[in-house]
Structures are given as structure tokens and as C-alpha cells.
Structure 1
Amino acid sequence: MKKLWHRLALLALLLNISGNLFAQDDSLLGLLGEEETGDKVVNAFKSPRVINAHSMEMLDAGALDFRILHRFGKINQGFYDMFGLDNASMRMGFDYGLTPNLTVGIGRSTSRKELDGFLKYRLLWQSRGSKSVPVSVVLVGGLTHNGLKEPFASLEIEPNFARRTAYYTQAIVGRKFSEKFSAQLVPTWLHRNIVENELESNDMVALGMGLRYKFVKRVALVVDYYYAFNRFPDDPTYNPTSIGFDIDTGGHVFQLHFSNAVGMNERAFLTDANGSWLNGEIQFGFNLSRVFQLKEKNKKS
């Protein structure tokens, strides 16, 4: 199964590279419902994700975003494991724009064989002019489901549906400050039905941050980070920190990044054992996004 995942990831990478050779000069953002219409502020981020985290961007109605998140092993594993390249984990997902302000998505991760799903709704859209709105506000709610055969073997409890499930909700408050710089804050609440340590809370409260700085027309630096307020004091896990570069190739967004988080959904990167940047416990990875317009776009949207 691992070989199959690796082959799928490599195939997606090859398709992306070949697509670059024939890409026309039209941005993926045209498929994200981000045309310059009215006084709406657009193109704050290049895609609906920063790296791990959701961004304030939305898909257009009828747009399907096929997304592969791929992360290798820790770079401090040394030359024997090719600095982590011999090991990998990934998430494959499909997001669909039901309306310009409502997106639904599903995904599956190799880590814990976890399924996840979410709903994303834009409450406010940053705009200028006589009816100016200073920020965009996007609400996200989702769940994850652990697919391992014996996820709680150490606890000796029955792994029923409810115990396998975790939930999260968050509000993304973001602003595009200039053509080059955008930022967002993401207050987040996460609930796990089962935790492995009885002294640990089932609920986690965290504050996320996403940044984007555009160097040139099609390349931008992106950062996402989450600070967990009530992490268990003896938990050696570090807060998830990811840094990368978005490359818009016309129809694709190809991202190269480094992260101390192995997991690629909210439950995973907030609660799993993240490594230390200072000790080299970070992974190199890439994200691929390809958007297909399945329905004719509404010009008025």
C-alpha cells in the first residue's frame, strides 16, 4: 500500500511538471472564484490552503480541487535514509465549491489511515469602496475518523465509531494588506472523544496564523503556525510550524515546504508528536493542487 501511495505521488508530480511545459498564462486563481469583480479584494492566498491550514480563499461554484499533500521523513535521519526521502506520508483530498461562499471537502491520510471531511463558509468578504469590509471571515467545521484496526490497543477499550472520531471548528479572520502581503488569524477549538492520557483534556484551544508574501508574479513565501494554549504540560510535542513557497504554474499550484508536523489534518498536526526545528526534526514536502471547473462559472459571482 505504501508503494501505491508513493507511485501516486510521483505520478502527480510528473503530471505537474509536464503541465508546466504547456501551461497557458492564466492563473489558478481564476478557478477559485477570484476574478476582479466589483470592490471585492481577491488573491490574498494562492489556494484554499496555506500549507497545512485552511486559508481565507474559497473555490468558485462548480470547481473541484484535487489536492495531494506529500511529506517525507525527518531530515535528521541522515544519509542512510537520504535525509528522510526514503520515508513518506501523504494526504489525498477532493474539495468542491457548492457556491462561491460554501466549500465541502473530504480527504484520506496514510497516517492512522485517517479519513477527514469539512465544510467551509465565507461569512464576510474583504472589500473596498462605499461598502468597505476590512477583513474576510471564513468559518470551518470538520471531523476526522481513525481507520486503524486497533487504534486504542494500549487503552484496552473497544474502538467504536464515536471513539475513533474527533471534531474541530475554527474562524479564519484575514486581510490582504497589499498586493504582496496577506495575513490571517485562526482561532480553533478541537475535541477528541478519546485521549491516551487521562490527565490530558479532550478539548484543545489553539490560535493559528497564516502569512503570505509575494516575491514575484507567480512565487510567494507562505508560513503557517499554531499555538496550543492548553497542551498537556509534560507533552513533548512542539507547536506545528511550516514554511514554504507557492509556485503558480497556470492551472496548478505547486508548493515546496518544510514542516515539523507529520500529520496533514487539524487533529493530526495539532495533537500528534511534532518535532523540534532546532534538532532537525522537520520534514521536506510538497503540495500539489489542480482545479477542474465542472460547472460553468457564474459571471456575476
Structure 2
Amino acid sequence: MTKTLLLLSMLSSALAFSQEDLLKDIDTIKTNTENSQPAFKALQIVTGQSTKLSAKNEWYIVVAHRFGDISTGFKNFFGLDDASTKLGVIYGATDWLSLNLSRETNQKTFELGGKYRLLEQNDSFPLNVVGYNVMAINTDLDKDNYPHLQFGDRLSYLTQALISRRFSDDFSLQLTPSYVHKNLYEPNIEDKNQFLAGLGGRYKISKRISINAEYFVNFDNHSFYKNPLSLGMDIETGGHVFQLLFSNSQLNSDIGYLTNATGNWGKGHIYFGFNLYRVF
């Protein structure tokens, strides 16, 4: 398993560096003091959101890919035969508000969201505080299975407070209390209302590379699903951040990632993937 993870990381890192001529500068926030610089270089820590926002009038195209369970080995070519993709756009309406729309192949889920800055770390305040709200529409639900299905049953909602601190050039931490509400749910395996708490961080190990990690605890005692745990690597190429990751949750959507993780790190049931942003 260790050799497999190492091989995939090396191959993916080589791919990321080969894209350097294509990727443009997206880190457009300009600051005058060390404390006012963003806590994270990317819009996501791993899969969960970070306190970084897009700049005013910027458009991002988002491509996020999660392969299948790597523990299947050559049977499914270490998960490459079973993948889930998310395509999305993010627009910086202002320097403190961004709007996003995405669609994921797994469960055919659309998500509409907004991220907005409430407080910013600077010389007089120690934290970044950002709000994040999402509405998801599960278009995979079928009336053959749910004869009384209404449009409202397809909807679920996420509210998060993203609270981060940049301790130094190399190290940042973020606390993420979260609330999820699902209109349609299976009471035997999960609750309608779920509360989670997440902790994520970034540590820079070289000029271009940082190691990221995040973990969310779901306080739903009935949940069949696992707590999502993810490890990632940020590779900065000309100001752009390309993210490689391993996670026990295959889903890319915010709500799916948090509440539908099925992998088990202890048994090697994990998923490899990447996040790629292109700014216009």
C-alpha cells in the first residue's frame, strides 16, 4: 500500500509540473503586511473549503477528480476505472463575496453556493472568519424508487463557519464548524440534521510545496458513514496551486464529501484525486 501511494504521488507530481506553462497566476491578493496575507494559497484545504476567496471579477473553472478505491489493485487499475468528476465555476462578485455553481457525476448533484468574508486577519485582529453556504440538488433520485418524490426532496443544505489563522509563512490552521440539513434521508443510517466540526491545516515544506490535512467529526450517532479524513499536497506553479490528495471520501460535492464517506484508512480503502483551478 505504501509503495502504491508513493508511486501515484510521484506520477501526479510530474503531471502537475508539466502543466506549468498552461496555468496562470491566480493568487491575486496583494498585501502590505505579513499578517494580512491569506492563510491558505488554495480555495480548498483538501476537499473542504478554506478561508481564501476569489478576487473581484475573477472567474474560475474548477475540475476536481476522484478515482476509485486504490485497494482494488490491478482489478480496477488502482481505482482509475472508477472515477467521479466535478465541474464548476466560481465568480468573484466582490473581494469579499464569491458565488459558485458545480455539478458532480457521482449522484448527479448540482451545488449552488456562496462564500463571504466576515473578518480578516491583520495586525489588529488574529483570525480570518468566512461564511460558506451551499444548496445541493440531487438529480439522481428516481420516482421509480421514490413514487411520491417532490422537487424539495432533492434538496440539502450546508452552512459553515471557516475560522483560520496564519501563524507564519509556513503554517496555518482552520476550524470549521458545520451544519447539514437533508430533506430526504434514510433514518436507519443517518439523521436529517447533522452537526460536524472540522480541523484542517497547511504546512509549507519548500518554496513550491505544502502538505495539507483535514478531518471532520460527524456528531450524528446513527451515521453509517465514516468521518472524512484527507491528506493533500499543494504544488504552486507560477502562482497557481495544483492539489493532489488522498481521502476516504470519494465524493467531490461539499455535502457529499462531509456526510457520505465510505472508505476506511485502516483497511486501505482510500481514493486518490486532484483539484485544478483555471482563472479567467
Same fold by TM-score greater than 0.5 = yes
Determine whether 1:145 maps to 2:137: yes
Give per-residue Cα distances to partners, 1:221-270, cap 9 Å, x unaligned: 111211101241xx442101110100111253211110100111222012
Give per-residue Cα distances to partners, 1:91-147, cap 9 Å, x unaligned: 11111111110010010000110000111110000001xxx1110100111110001
Distance 1:121 1:97, change over 3 A: same
d(CA) in 1 for partners of 2:126, 2:152: 40
RMSD: 2.2
Match of 2:94 in 1: 99
| TM-score, normalised via structure 1 length | 0.83
Match of 2:20 in 1: 20
Secondary structure at the aligned position of 2:257 is classed as helix
| TM-score, normalised via structure 2 length | 0.89
Contact between 2:43 and 2:49, CA under 8 Å: does it hold in 1? yes
Residue 244 (structure 1) aligned to one of 229, 232, 236:
232
Superposition pairs of residues 80-99 of structure 1, within 5 angstroms? 80-99=75-94
Superposition pairs of residues 140-289 of structure 1, within 5 angstroms? 140-150=132-142, 153=145, 156-197=146-187, 200-232=190-222, 235-289=223-277
Match of 1:290 in 2: 278
Letter of the structure 1 residue corresponding to residue 27 of structure 2: L
Letter of the structure 1 residue corresponding to residue 233 of structure 2: F
d(CA) in 1 for partners of 2:176, 2:206: 26
d(CA) in 2 for partners of 1:149, 1:80: 29
- Alpha-carbon deviation of 1:178? 0.5
Gapped runs of 5+ residues in structure 2? 1-12
d(CA) in 1 for partners of 2:244, 2:107: 24
d(CA) in 1 for partners of 2:98, 2:216: 23
Contact between 1:73 and 1:284, CA under 8 Å: does it hold in 2? yes
d(CA) in 2 for partners of 1:39, 1:120: 23
Superposition pairs of residues 15-94 of structure 1, within 5 angstroms? 19-21=19-21, 27-30=25-28, 34-37=29-32, 41-94=36-89
Distance 1:192 1:152, change over 3 A: farther
d(CA) in 1 for partners of 2:274, 2:81: 15
Give per-residue Cα distances to partners, 1:170-212, cap 9 Å, x unaligned: 1111100000000000100100001122674210000011100
* 74-83 or 111-120, which deviates more: 74-83
Distance 1:173 1:112, change over 3 A: same
Contact between 2:141 and 2:154, CA under 8 Å: does it hold in 1? no
Contact between 1:60 and 1:99, CA under 8 Å: does it hold in 2? yes
- Alpha-carbon deviation of 1:50? 1.1
Contact between 1:40 and 1:125, CA under 8 Å: does it hold in 2? no
Contact between 1:251 and 1:290, CA under 8 Å: does it hold in 2? no
- Alpha-carbon deviation of 1:157? 3.9
Secondary structure at the aligned position of 2:20 is classed as helix
d(CA) in 1 for partners of 2:225, 2:23: 41
Contact between 2:228 and 2:261, CA under 8 Å: does it hold in 1? no
Letter of the structure 1 residue corresponding to residue 26 of structure 2: L
Secondary structure at the aligned position of 1:197 is classed as coil
d(CA) in 2 for partners of 1:236, 1:199: 5
d(CA) in 2 for partners of 1:14, 1:39: 31
Letter of the structure 2 residue corresponding to residue 162 of structure 1: G
